Structure 1
Amino acid sequence: MSEKGFDAEVLVIGGGPGGSTAAWDLARQGVDVLVLDGAEFPRVKLCAGWITPQILDALELDPEAYPHTISPFSSAVLWVGDTPYRTDYRRPVSYGIIRAEFDHYLLERAREAGARFANETIRTVEAGPEAFEVTTRDGSTYRAPLAIGAGGSKDPIRRQLTTHAPEERMVVTLESETRVGAERIQAHTPYFEVPELFLEPDFNGYAWYFTKGDFLNIGIGRLGDPRIRDAHPRFLEKLRDLGRLTPELEADLTKFRGHPYKIYDSVPNQAHGDRFLLVGDAAGLARHYSGEGIRPAVESARDAAAVARSALERGRFAAKDLEDYPQRLTERYGPQKAPRFDPTRWIPHSWQGRIVEGICRSDRLRRDWVFGRVFLFDPEAAVS
């Protein structure tokens, strides 16, 4: 036990990409870090597992050196209605990973850097005047000057110590990932290792069919819509019509499971408080429109680690002493406020649909706006 009865200098709640990145960044700077997570790693994590080169840069990770599944994507297909539109690139603009492998690798990297890990499920958290304290399901307690919450939308700090606006909207997803074999997958799709995205008819989300080596990932996500269980069967029927799913293949798929998470929009989430910082989905940082959460988790973790180091040096951990963290998030992702000019307020929904369709069907606009601005593919890498 460290100074003043502390169990660590920083407690990190959650061992996913955000938590393990924060722990790795702090530990390699000599900070005593303890990661707490109720799951045993490697653990299954439902996620499309689609990462961009920017994520690898933030992780300081060379894709050639990564020892697990990492499928380079240099094309993407966007379905608008019954028509597929393909955009090709001269080099990889994204990669497909398996979250069970990816998360375990990042956590082990943090442990090799010096971070400690405890397989504990958190029951309560408290930001007291002398320490941040967590109590586990079995009654154990852990204390530190500062905590980083990286437990996703169900993070105990997010749930117990922050408030949420009633108008906040959540992305709801249903996903399945199954190891079925590359040859078997190739027999069902002409787009092997090319992500296929399917716009929802009302443009309130999208579905996907991702092939990553031996793995097949199928899912659908919608924004603020509990009727996803109505949209899900419709999407599966489309996949059957396209031959992507056969009865034999469908019977082997892992069960579809869902989870909600907050996006970074005009409704802000509390990202810090006395003695704590929240990263990734715990802070509601998933990207608008794409719903991508791994990159914000990793980037915010690096920011949180920098602020945590500064706080430890000063020995001050009140919310006002951690204000640099939300400022960093605003500089990185922009202010969370409604735009002054919102055309969706006065353009009829049917017209909005036509505009979106036109953008998606245009090679240039699809490259620049859909894949460039929403999914952050480098437009300059596109094949003319």
Structure 2
Amino acid sequence: MRHYDVIIVGGGPAGSACAAQLTASGMKTAVLDLAEFPRLKLCAGWVTPEVLDNLDIEPKHYPYRLNTFEKLRIHIKGLAFNVKTTQHSIRRFEFDNFLLNRCGADIFNHNVKNIQRQNGKYLVDDRFSGDFLIGAGGTRCPVYRTFFRALNPRAKERQIVAYELEFPYEWNDPRCHLWFIENNLPGYSWYVPKKNGYLNCGVGGFADKIKSNGDDIKKHWEQLVHKLESLSMVTGWKSGDAHGYSYFMRSNIDTLRSDNAFIIGDAAGLATLDLGEGIGPAVQSARLATDAIMGETEYSLNTIHAYSPIKPWLRKWLEGRLTKKMLRKKRREDINSAVAH
């Protein structure tokens, strides 16, 4: 059995950021991931300058595709306007592989099935043992499932479902477009150009609300496909190759650490409350968990941004129109259910 100071389950940006900081401090670290990198990762793939700064990446020195937008093209109820904000688009296929390969940890292609706590150690599938354990495996993280699901049940009303496709395409419109609340979608759809002939298009929204509307995310995807084709923004593509996934917006998270086990990123459900952006909070949580392991601080979410770095008025509108509206509806349903019983 291989023993490590720290075992990290999940090799995405959160896991690799943790690993890089831990190995730099001299801790023997292993990263376990069920996928062999580079791998497909469903994600719109935009990151903020703050994310790159936290990862010590200079945009001009990043060796793969990186496209920079100085504004977003926002569409709301037939109105279209520009919002100034610096954002970057990357391909997660390249970005995650780059981060993992430079982290300095031992990397294993391993599907974690069983985790036990014995004699102060964490035993993973009788192959690995560690003094500390970090769950960075996303929404279905086995560390969350084993040690945190009972402590932090998922807030169903915060679940986001998305459907997207990233594909080679010589786009003509270089702008990043976001369409909010079209066709009664409780969320938004996007068009994100990537550098050197790639494009990501997708839709995402609150799963509970979509279901209660009698809709499904594939229907909204088909409506986006029709829009993009009718506007000649995308033509001749295999839109049927799109795939779906889900994750959770930030809610009241009670426990992020149990003994020497931690959860970070999407395993903790930290996506922002406006745009549902997950990479920024994931990287921030990784750094905080690492600091806690090294005994420098307690692991707390107090300094992790709950919102994306966009204009305050747009943030307030999105929160009021989407997040708060959903929670008000959920509270009414809970009250009605309690009265009925």
Q: Shorter-chain TM-score: what band?
A: 0.7 to 0.9
Q: Which runs of 5+ in 1 are unaligned?
A: 312-322, 335-365, 376-384
d(CA) in 2 for partners of 1:123, 1:20: 21
Pairing partner for 1:208 from 190, 193, 212: 190
- Rate the CA distance shift 1:230–1:24 in 2: closer, same or farther, 3 A: same
Query: CA shift at 1:371, angstroms?
Result: 6.6
Q: Is the 8 A contact 1:269 1:283 kept in 2?
A: no
d(CA) in 2 for partners of 1:260, 1:97: 20
Q: Which runs of 5+ in 2 are unaligned?
A: 320-341
Q: Is the 8 A contact 2:285 2:304 kept in 1?
A: no
Q: Which residue of structure 1 lines up, in the alignment, with residue 134 of structure 2? A: 148
Tell whether 2:202 aligns with 1:219: yes
After superposing the two structures, state which structure 1 stretch, 300-309 or 270-279, moved more: 270-279
- TM-score of the pair, normalised by structure 2: 0.83
Which whole-Å deviations, capped at 9, do the CAs of 1:256-315 have from their partners, x for residues lacking one?
1111111113x426322122111100011111121100001111001111111128xxxx
d(CA) in 2 for partners of 1:19, 1:166: 21
Which whole-Å deviations, capped at 9, do the CAs of 1:30-56 have from their partners, x for residues lacking one?
110011111111111111111001101
Q: Is the 8 A contact 2:162 2:244 kept in 1?
A: yes
Which whole-Å deviations, capped at 9, do the CAs of 1:1-51 have from their partners, x for residues lacking one?
7xxxx6110001011000000000100111100111111111111111110
Q: Which residue of structure 1 lines up, in the alignment, with residue 97 of structure 2? A: 104
Q: Which amino acid aligns with 1:171?
A: I
Q: How many residues align?
A: 305
Q: Which amino acid aligns with 1:198?
A: W
Q: Is the 8 A contact 1:158 1:278 kept in 2?
A: yes
Which whole-Å deviations, capped at 9, do the CAs of 1:103-129 have from their partners, x for residues lacking one?
010001102xxx111111101112333
Q: Which residue of structure 1 lines up, in the alignment, with residue 42 of structure 2? A: 46
Q: Which residue of structure 2 lines up, in the alignment, with residue 294 of structure 1? A: 279
d(CA) in 1 for partners of 2:7, 2:279: 21
Q: Which residue of structure 2 lines up, in the alignment, with residue 237 of structure 1? A: 226
Q: Which amino acid aligns with 1:97?
A: I
Q: Is the 8 A contact 1:280 1:300 kept in 2?
A: yes
Pairing partner for 1:324 from 290, 293, 298: 298
Pairing partner for 1:122 from 112, 117, 128: 112
Query: CA shift at 1:96, angstroms?
Result: 0.5
- Rate the CA distance shift 1:269–1:43 in 2: closer, same or farther, 3 A: farther
Query: CA shift at 1:83, angstroms?
Result: 3.2
Name whichever structure is richer in strand by fraction: 2
Q: Which amino acid aligns with 1:243?
A: S
After superposing the two structures, state which structure 1 stretch, 256-265 or 7-16, moved more: 256-265
Tell whether 2:88 aligns with 1:95: yes
Q: Which amino acid aligns with 1:222?
A: G
Query: CA shift at 1:368, angstroms?
Result: 3.6
Q: Which amino acid aligns with 1:329?
A: L
Query: CA shift at 1:242, angstroms?
Result: 1.6
Query: CA shift at 1:374, angstroms?
Result: 7.2
Q: Which residue of structure 1 lines up, in the alignment, with residue 331 of structure 2? A: none
d(CA) in 1 for partners of 2:240, 2:220: 19
Q: Is the 8 A contact 2:185 2:220 kept in 1?
A: no
Query: CA shift at 1:166, angstroms?
Result: 6.4
Q: Is the 8 A contact 1:49 1:99 kept in 2?
A: yes
Query: CA shift at 1:170, angstroms?
Result: 0.7
d(CA) in 2 for partners of 1:107, 1:73: 26
Which whole-Å deviations, capped at 9, do the CAs of 1:198-246 have from their partners, x for residues lacking one?
1123462000011112111001110133422232222222222222232
Q: Which residue of structure 2 lines up, in the alignment, with residue 351 of structure 1? A: none
d(CA) in 2 for partners of 1:195, 1:210: 5
Q: Which residue of structure 2 lines up, in the alignment, with residue 279 of structure 1? A: 264
